Amino acid sequence: MKNLYSIIKGSGCYIPEKRVLNEDFIKNDFYDSDGNKINTPNEEIIKKFEKITEIRERRYVTDDLTTSDIAYFAAKDAIKNSGIDKESLDYIIVAHNFGDVQNNNRRSDFVPSLAARVKNKLGVENPKTISFDVSFGCPGWLMGMIQADYFLRSGDAKRALIIGAETLSRISDPHDRDSMIYSDGAGATILEAIESNEPVGILSHASRSDTLNHAFLLWMDKSNNPDYKGNELFLKMNGRKLYEYALNTVPLVVKESLEKAKVDLEKAEKILIHQANAKMDDAILIRLFKLFNKVEIPKNIMPMTIAELGNSSVATVPTLLSLLFNNKLPDHKVTNGNILVFASVGAGMNINSMIYKMP
């Protein structure tokens, strides 16, 4: 008996042209969360930062671009790579957290939705192409994929465009060391419903939200610099607590999604994790394999882009996927029948995981 499954028809991304190296932060004045100037030399701060995160550089958008602009660029790339007619889209879902933030007016702009703006920029005329946004922290794109999977497998929709886009450079405090983590970017995916006798495409997914004790591990607040003259709010995080939370919970959600799909971890060809911190991702991978009593981790199972692209929030995983699918990641190849494992964690705190079998 044939069932409906959601397969990835095409993917695309937009990687901003502006490269920002770690050395570019040498002249920043850094303050701690209590407003005290940090007297440690910036060279030492940057060296320690790079050792922990492995971030050497990141990408920023140019002053003329916003999140909906780069979401559109990624969407256009995905549509081109998929070969579909844009008018055949039933849904356009855009995951982000801050809306459009102009360079000269750093306030969040959410109306109309970014999905509506992307549909407008694409020139899609079809009134049955439903467009809406998802705000779910860094796992937003993956949550959009999960929602689209439900729509497609219900039989009421055929195709969906899911985008993750963010311009974190616009909401980063230049006086906070954590600002070196953040970057800009966009990734997009076309999901298509197909009939199949065998399970294929999205096999399962799992999610969780821990808000009672962990809602404010990421939050918005004023600059660390007490003398900062602007009234903007910047992204803040409790890095140590966030690390502990992710390490303790992400492997459990991945395990749940694998068990739902009835897939053994050893069958996974690639594990695509949100590019937040290389040390954290490595620790999550080790903890995951320990859950399955596996000591040896296969080489090249976890492709990483954080060293060159930084943490672009909802854009990290779809960008990673697009680079993988379009053969732009050296030493990483996938083919028909391969199992891919997705996982992301972020503000909320929210976590999700998805198991995908390539058709």
Domain 201-357 part of CATH 3.40.470.10: no
Supply the DSSP symbol for 281. H
SS3 of residue 115 by DSSP: helix
Top-tier CATH class for 3-196: alpha beta
For 134, the enclosing helix (H) or strand (E) is strand 130-134
Closest CA to 14 of 348, 326, 333, 358: 326
* Helix (H), strand (E) at residue 101: strand 100-102
Q: Tokens at residue 234, please?
A: 């910047």
pTM value is 0.95
Cβ neighbours of 124 (radius 10 Å): 20
Beta-carbon neighbour count of residue 338 at 10 Å?
A: 14
In angstroms, how far apart are the furthest CA atoms of the chain?
Answer: 68
Contact (Cβ atoms closer than 8 angstroms) between residue 317 and residue 274:
yes
| 155-167: pLDDT as tens digits | 999 999 999 999 9
Alpha helices in 86-180 (DSSP H): 114-122, 140-153
Q: pLDDT at position 106, please?
A: 87
Q: Is 233 exposed, middle or buried (0-12, 13-18, 19+ CB in 10 A)?
A: middle
Taking the C-alpha atoms of residue 335 and residue 318, their distance in angstroms, rounded to an integer, is: 18
> How many other β-carbons are positioned within 10 Å of the β-carbon of residue 82?
21
Whether 3-196 and 201-357 share one fold: the answer is: yes
CA 336 – CA 330 distance, rounded (Å) = 19
3-state class (DSSP) for residue 164: strand
Structure tokens at 19: 């490269």
Each residue's pLDDT, cut to its tens digit, for the chain (359 residues) gives 789 999 999 999 999 999 999 999 999 999 999 999 999 999 999 999 999 999 999 999 999 999 999 999 999 999 999 999 999 999 999 999 999 999 988 889 999 999 999 999 999 999 999 999 999 999 999 999 999 999 999 999 999 999 999 999 999 999 999 999 999 999 999 999 999 999 999 999 999 999 999 999 999 999 999 999 888 999 999 989 999 999 999 999 999 999 999 999 999 999 999 999 999 999 999 999 999 988 789 999 999 999 999 999 999 999 999 999 999 998 899 999 999 999 999 999 999 999 999 99
**Cα 222 to the center of its chain, rounded Å:** 25
- Would you list the domain boundaries of the chain? 3-196, 201-357
User: Which amino acid, 153?
Assistant: R
Chain centroid to Cα 85, Å, comes to 26
